[in-house]
Amino acid sequence: MRVLLVSGLLAFSTVALAGPECEEKDRSKWMDKDAFEQQLKDDGYRVKVFKITDGDCYELYGWNPEGQKVEIYYDPVTAKVLKTEIEE
């Protein structure tokens, strides 16, 4: 019984922490990573890490203009926010 409970909790954690499904797109159409990051800074974000995920998204770890710790995934072509996690 205990093994099933632990397995269930681990499965839930994996789902809860998973990033969005990012659609693979032609990299020649992506927004320039450095320019995108600079725009986020200009918009008031404090960037700790800005990277390309394994799933072909841009991912920001840092703080939003309101000072909340955030993890945000962006479509690299359209800049659309695909997922936002805010630490409360």
Domain boundaries, the chain: 21-86
Residue 84: pLDDT above 60?
yes
Which pLDDT value is given to residue 10? Answer: 37
Q: How far is 40 from 45, CA to CA, in rounded Å? A: 6
Residue 8: pLDDT above 70?
no
Which pLDDT value is given to residue 17? Answer: 52
Q: Are 9 and 17 in contact (CB under 8 A)?
A: no
Tokens of 25: 């797109």
Which pLDDT value is given to residue 20? Answer: 81
Q: How far is 41 from 65, CA to CA, in rounded Å? A: 9
Q: What is the DSSP letter of 29?
A: G
* 25-34 tens-digit pLDDT: 899 999 999 9
Identify the architecture of domain 21-86 in CATH. Roll (3.10)
